[in-house]
Amino acid sequence: MTARTAQPAPDDHAAPDSRPAAFTVGPLHHVQLSVPPGTEDRCRAYWSGVLGLAEIEKPPVLAARGGCWFRGGGIEVHLGAEADFVPARRAHPGILVTSLDALADRLQAHGLPVTWDDNFPGYRRFHSADPFGNRLEFLEPATTAATPDATTAAGPSA
């Protein structure tokens, strides 16, 4: 392994680099969320039991650190055990789903929060949290048939 020298942060006022990029940025490989140590069974109950993602095996060297990984529906979520865990209450993944109302019902049936938000044009969405308080956003594209008015776009009536 070679040592790396820290580079200064880019200057906000620097001219953009006009050279063609020798790389491309693709879709995300995974999102990592922190969880308290020793909570793998609760992670499995939520990510597999409630959301239906499949657990995937972590490489042995990483498995020794705790946590677990899940994949399904085109996403991969890595849950890393963190000794001084603090839930992410603002930073969050935005997860595209189908049948948003059915997911909201399922989360609520499991005692999890669902807070509808109609502030993202073109999408119906709500925020929730995993069992440890990490913020999660679930959204689906709005369609004329699914959201004939603003009331429907904000979610079902209470």
Neighbouring C-alpha atoms within 13 Å toward the C-beta of 10:
6
pLDDT digits (tens, 9 = 90+) for 96-141: 999 999 999 999 999 999 999 999 999 999 999 999 999 999 999 9
pTM: 0.79
pLDDT digits (tens, 9 = 90+) for 15-65: 788 888 899 999 999 999 999 999 999 999 999 999 999 999 999 999 999
pLDDT at residue 73, as a whole number: 93
- Taking residues 52-81, what's their average pLDDT? 96
Given a contact cutoff of 8 angstroms between Cβ atoms, the answer to whether 53 and 71 are in contact is yes
pLDDT at residue 55, as a whole number: 98
Q: Which residues contact 128 (CB under 8 A, 6 or more apart)?
A: 107, 112, 113, 114, 115, 135, 136, 137, 138
